[in-house]
Amino acid sequence: MDIRQFFFKFRGFTPIPFILIVIIFAQPTSTSFLRGLIFMIIGEFIRIWGVSYAGGATRTRNVGAPRLVTSGPFAYVRNPLYIGNMLMYIGAGIIANVWMPWLIFAILTFFGIQYGFIVNLEEEKLSHLFGEEYSNYKKHVPRFVPRLKPIKSSHPIQPDYKEALRSEKSTFLSFMAILLLLAVRMLWNMP
């Protein structure tokens, strides 16, 4: 197993050490909680928007996709789910209110490296599966920094928000658990 496959296979578990550190050392205030919560909510909305187009295939342990999705957020950026994740991790770091701005730098560095490996693996597979269609998509849609204007999708997809909410259940539960633990830390730290 190469490093790209390792990060892909364990992408749901690699944030655990970061989350534990954040919760253990957190010194949240009501201001940091509100600021971080905004990032986390935006991140989750981006994820729901992305999953509503990509479907439950985003939860698989196998690299690939049943179809190339170029609608919705994928018309602006190739990896909206990873952007959503990054915003959620940054939000948790802001809530923690510790080691700033170094914690945010560490989050961006670690997850930037991890997602760099994962995206490289996924792009290799998508190029193999979708050939010229994917190459053309890559030429017009950035990897991580969204375009201002969406591309026109050659295969428009209707979003399924109900299925997206069902698929995002575990992410949402993790989101709520982290918020609850950070809220407890905030109350614990209050004089």
- pLDDT (0 to 100) of residue 57: 64
Spatial neighbors of 126 by CB under 8 A, at least 6 apart, are 64, 65, 68, 134
Domain ranges, residue 26: 3-54+67-189
Q: Is 62 a domain residue?
A: no
pLDDT digits (tens, 9 = 90+) for 32-76: 999 999 999 999 999 999 999 998 766 666 677 888 999 999 999
Q: Is 90 a domain residue?
A: yes
Q: Is 12 a domain residue?
A: yes
Q: Is 115 a domain residue?
A: yes
- pLDDT (0 to 100) of residue 182: 92
Q: Is 61 a domain residue?
A: no
Q: Is 59 a domain residue?
A: no
Q: Is 60 a domain residue?
A: no
- pLDDT (0 to 100) of residue 110: 93
Q: Is 182 a domain residue?
A: yes
Count how many domains the chain has. Answer: 1
How far apart CA 82 and CA 154 sit, in angstroms, is: 23
pLDDT digits (tens, 9 = 90+) for 106-130: 999 999 999 999 999 999 999 999 9
Nearest to 106 by CA among 120, 94, 117: 94
- pLDDT (0 to 100) of residue 66: 81
- pLDDT (0 to 100) of residue 61: 65
